[in-house]
Each structure stands twice: as structure tokens, then as C-alpha cells.
Structure 1
């Protein structure tokens, strides 16, 4: 009788925090053979089992997940398949209530833990006081350069860098995302426009900026939904009608950006694009340049997803975009952008140049912290 319930299986794994997210890290060699990121179906059941999905209660109590999209993540680290990289990094976003694993897009926060993981695991040799690890993100085909301090040959963790949304301090991890434009769709502006008019079910006509840098994001004005810039994620989450309207914005945007059909956006690719509500600098954020609340996988984020913030920083350099409009006079080309989100302030630097009348995103730089939380073997059930 017990055999029909499947077997209890374990794999070597490391549990890490990267920025404001957490993920279970695997070496690719310890998983069934796959060809990231297009053919990873051999991994889906394992990742769902490890994180405790699907869970109709939305808590993932029978796994390592935490009931939030920022805590339902997997990182797979392998030998480099790119000539300019030290390691491959494949990111997986795992559904909470449903057995869905998406390899579309990436996670900037978890990217900050990849370099320290690679050094601590001996996948990359590093000596001296600091290390630089060139990461090939297989999901996007892009290179991320991570630079961080070393202590006794391992990634240092005792620094004084603090980031909004994470208690305590740590050593900074400098992340440079090279050529982030078109990470998922192949185009920085998937529609060719800095601003589009969307016809959204339950919402009507709405102006939006559809931008793909690090991850695809749809930017809409918070005022279009009569929302206050001081709105808390918990308040947004309690408004089921609002969450559904924003989900319709995401679905319509996914189709317009060419990510997938509306049907696929509703059933299979539920994490992209991110939805970013935008407000200009206000009394609620006098120390910041712009205010945002972001939603992914149907959940308002407690802290802005890093890839979403990077896309926002790039969008702020695109003339005519809703983000550039909100920044107005505070969007000098060489100036960092400070973003107010639900957990505090995030500062990013974005380099965008205009070439032949088209915008080209050259680089986005941000600082995070990361830390190894646990290592050993993770157990999951095969059924």
C-alpha cells in the first residue's frame, strides 16, 4: 500500500538567500540529464516535490518553499556552455498552488548568490581578497558579472551592506548585468514602442510601457487604478478585484509582447511579465526618484524583484516611456535611480545609449547581499 505513494528520495543541495529571495541550489550533475532551459521537463517533478508544490493551501508546508513567489525558487549551477562564463545558472520559478515550473525569465536576487555558491562549492577557483565570477544565465543567454569579497577562500558574509527587506547586514555582492535588453523576447521594446495602448478585459483602454530588460515588465500608472503610492502589498493582496484586474493587464501584455498567447499566460507562464505600478516622486517618498509596487505570479511583492527594478531603471532612460515620464527632471543620464518600494529604497545604475534611433541597454549595476543558510541533502517524494 505504501509503495503506491511513491518513494522518499534525497539529493545533495544547498539552501541560500540571495537578496530578498531564497532558493534551493543544485549542481546540474546531480540532476537527471536535461538541456537548459528549453528541455528541463525531467526536473519539474523534483523541483515541485522539493518545494512542496502543488499546495492548495498555498503554504508549501511539505517542502522547502515558503508560500511566496520569492521563496519558491530553484537554482541549478553547471559547467559553462558559454565561452565567456565560469558557470551556467539555470533559474526555475515553481508554482505554489499548482504544479507549474517556469524556466522563462530569470531572478536577479538569486543571481547574487550564484557567485558565492560557485566559489564555496569549488566550482570556481578564487584566491586573495575578492573574487569575480562570470555567470551565464541559460534562461536569457545573458552574462552577469558578480564581484564579492573573500575570507579564508570562501565568500565573505560579515560586511556592513544592508538592503531593504532583509534584516541585518552582509558583504556586498556587486552584480553587473551586461546587455540586459531583450532577455526574454529578444527586444528591449518588444512592440517597438516606448508606450502602448492596451485593451484589457475588465479594465478597458490603458496606457502601458512594455519593456524587456533582465525580465519583461509592463509598467502602468498607479493612478490608473486609483491607488495611493503608500499602498502596502498586504492591502493590494486583500483586494481580490484589483489583483484580478492587474492579472488581466499581465495576460494582455504577455500576448502583446509576444511572450505567449493569452491562454498560455493564464495556464502555463504565470510569472511573466512582471506588473509594475508606477508613481512619480511624492511626499510618500521624498528621498526617492520614483515609487513602485510590483506583482508577479499573482502576488504583490513585499520587496521589489531585482530584475523588475533593473528593467525599471532601463525604462527610465527610454524617452516617452511611462517610467521616464514619472522621473521627469530627475532622470539625468549618468545619475543612479533610487526606487521606493514596499520595503525601502533601492539604488541602481543603468547605461542606455541611442544607436541608429534605437535604444540599447548596455549595463545595469546593483548591489545585493547573499548567504549560505544550509547544506546537505534535501528530501522529496517521487509522487
Structure 2
């Protein structure tokens, strides 16, 4: 049998926030992958090394976690008022599918920098020194993101002294504003209620806040599911029964939010919604060994991503946390002590994060104009990724 040479596709490997992913300029992809469909999915799966029954992604660029099995496709903006279109794919590690149902808030931090590097932003809009405002259209959820990217001597500044818990080394700060962050799939609160009842077979009836902000998220109380809110990854990710219970809660939340029509569909929609559990402030030791004091945080949050406890916090889930914390009566606001607030600092497995959001009650419903947080990003490697052509043949 004759074997074909590997395809060579221009790509950039980037860290954004506490995630890593493969970035592509749409124009650089093979023609068949420039449109959504099986060929594009097969290409991204093979680039990351999925599906891998061993769960390691050894034969690809994924790093065997939901935070590192990601792909981004950028293109010149398709609508006026924006610089770039941003499409995100969450690549499953052990299954042959790519979930296009939501955004990645962490990798959003790298989008502006990559867009500038790739020449997708009009040079006339870039300062020689200062902050470049990159207007991003998030194609998955049909929302706007504004990234303020630092520029020094005409180049994207990637190094700096901004520290982000969950990332070992400091870098340059990038401020992200998620404009009108209610997810494009529906109202801020799909049921119209701040707290819903979730009846989960095998678990019981739980109170939950179901919110569409940044990314659809199901919030429950940590204490209601047997946790303190100070857990680290090993406490949950090594417990198969716990993971199954948490997935059952997430699936029931997805059904009640109208994101799926039956529970069986949840298996093919792992990226959204997210499941998070919250608790009042408590002191704990983060995964780095750093001590987090109860007095330094407003609440505790732990979140599930692609069936596992996240090592820090997804950027989009942080938007959901900020939004829910700003609205009195949600479980997130309750855990933070109640009342109105425009910013919140929460504890996650790797440390703490401060996020802000402003909420208004207008015409009988809550609205949020934008949520803001700071992340960092940098290029790790750039060049070409090689892909066996046989993996792309239908």
C-alpha cells in the first residue's frame, strides 16, 4: 500500500489565560477545511491527536486535558465594526468529535495578539506604543469581545509582570471585555428564575442557578452535593462515581436550559453547559502550594470542563460567575454574601481571580452590558503542523 505524504499546514501554538490551543488563519487551511464539516473536524482531531483511547494525545499537539485540547480558527471580519472573526473548537480527547457549541474565554486572550501577528488587523489601527483595541466577533455565540493588547515599538508585547494564578510565569496583561455576555442561545436566565429546582435521578432535587453569560453554566451549592468548595483536581477526577454524578447534574441542567432535547444528547455536547459548584469563603491550599485566605476572597468556585474538574477556571465560566454574583438572589450571589456588587474575587483550585460585571434590572428582567477580566497570552511556537492525509479521507 502506498502512503501519502503528510499535509503541512501553517499553525501557531499559543497559550491564552490558563489554556493552550492551536491557532489557524482560515485562509491557510486546506480548501476543504475552510468550510465547516467532517473534513475540518477530522483535521483538527488529527492535529490534536484525537481520538485517543489512552487519553494521552501522544500522537498530536494536545496535552491530555480539556484546557489543552483546543483549536481556534480566525479570519478577517465578516461584518463591519470588527477586526476579526473568532471560531473556537473544543476537541474531545478520547472521542471523535469537535464541540462547536461555545466559546473559550481563556483563549480569547490570545485572539487579539494572533490577529495582529497574522495581519488580520488594519495596521492603521495599531499604535506604535500603547494598547491596541482589537474588536473580535465570537462566531460560536455571536457576541462581541474587545481585547486591549499591549504594543511596544510596533510589536505585540508578550512579556511582562502580570501574574495569573494557574500560569507559572508572568506575562503582559491583556484586558478582555465581553460585551452583552448573555449567551447567544437565549435569555440570561432561560427559565426566568434566579433559582431553579433540578431533579436528578440518583442524586435528588437540587437548587440551581441556570445562567447564559459567557457560556451556559449550571451553578449548584457545593454543600448540596457533598463538597466544601476547597477541592483540588485529585479529590474529584480520580472518583469515577463522583464524575458520573456531576455529569448527571450537568445533563439535567442542559435539558432544563433547553440546550438539549433529551438526556442522551448531553454526551455529544460536552463543552456546554458548564457545571460549577459554589461555597462561602474558606481558607485552603491551592494546587501550587499557595495559601488562599478566606479573608482575601468573596466565595469559592469549582468548575467542571469536559467531564473533569478544571485546574483553574475557564474564562467564559468566570464571566458567568461575575454576572451571577452581580445579581442578588442567585446561588453565586448568596455564596458571596448577597447584595449588589460590580466585581468579585473567587477562589479556584489554582488560586484566585477577580472579575467584574455590571447588572441592571430593566423592564422586569436582568441585563448585563459587559463583563471584564484580565488574562495574558503568548506564542509558544509557530510554523507548520503536519497531518497524515490518510486520517482525512472519508
TM-score, normalized by the shorter chain, greater than 0.5: yes
Residue deviations 1:336-373, cap 9 Å, x none? Answer: 20010000010011011111110001100000010011
Report what 2:228 is aligned to: 228
Report what 1:371 is aligned to: 378
Report what 2:310 is aligned to: 301
Distance (whole Å) between structure 2 residues aligned to residue 89 and residue 357 of structure 1:
33
**How far is the alpha carbon of 1:7 from its aligned partner?**
4.9
Report what 1:133 is aligned to: 134
Residue deviations 1:40-65, cap 9 Å, x none? Answer: 44310000000000000111010000
Report what 1:208 is aligned to: 208
Distance (whole Å) between structure 2 residues aligned to residue 35 and residue 119 of structure 1:
20
Report what 1:350 is aligned to: 357
Report what 2:10 is aligned to: 12
1:163 to 2:164 alignment: yes
The alignment partner of 1:160 has SS state of coil
User: Does the CA-based 8 Å contact 1:254-1:262 persist in structure 2?
Assistant: no
The alignment partner of 2:158 has SS state of coil
Match of 2:92 among 74, 92, 95: 95
Report what 1:256 is aligned to: 256
Match of 2:41 among 39, 44, 48: 44
Report what 2:367 is aligned to: 360
The root-mean-square deviation of aligned C-alpha atoms, in Å, is: 1.5
Distance (whole Å) between structure 1 residues aligned to residue 333 and residue 42 of structure 2:
42
Distance (whole Å) between structure 1 residues aligned to residue 232 and residue 96 of structure 2:
29
**How far is the alpha carbon of 1:326 from its aligned partner?**
1.0
**How far is the alpha carbon of 1:283 from its aligned partner?**
3.7
Task: Give every structure 1 segment of 4 or more consecutive aligned residues whose post-TM-superposition deviation is greater than 6 Å.
Answer: none
The alignment partner of 2:127 has SS state of coil
TM-score of the aligned structures, taking structure 2 as reference length? 0.92
Counterparts of residues 110-121 of structure 1 (less than 5 Å): 110-121=107-118
The alignment partner of 1:286 has SS state of helix
Distance (whole Å) between structure 1 residues aligned to residue 87 and residue 250 of structure 2:
24
**How far is the alpha carbon of 1:121 from its aligned partner?**
1.7
Distance (whole Å) between structure 2 residues aligned to residue 105 and residue 264 of structure 1:
19
Q: Which runs of 5+ in 1 are unaligned?
A: none
TM-score of the aligned structures, taking structure 1 as reference length? 0.95
The alignment partner of 2:67 has SS state of helix
Report what 2:68 is aligned to: 71
The alignment partner of 1:373 has SS state of strand
Q: Which runs of 5+ in 2 are unaligned?
A: 285-293
User: Does the CA-based 8 Å contact 2:304-2:310 persist in structure 1?
Assistant: yes
Distance (whole Å) between structure 2 residues aligned to residue 202 and residue 2 of structure 1:
53
User: Does the CA-based 8 Å contact 1:233-1:293 persist in structure 2?
Assistant: no
Report what 1:317 is aligned to: 326
**How far is the alpha carbon of 1:380 from its aligned partner?**
1.6
Distance (whole Å) between structure 1 residues aligned to residue 348 and residue 278 of structure 2:
10
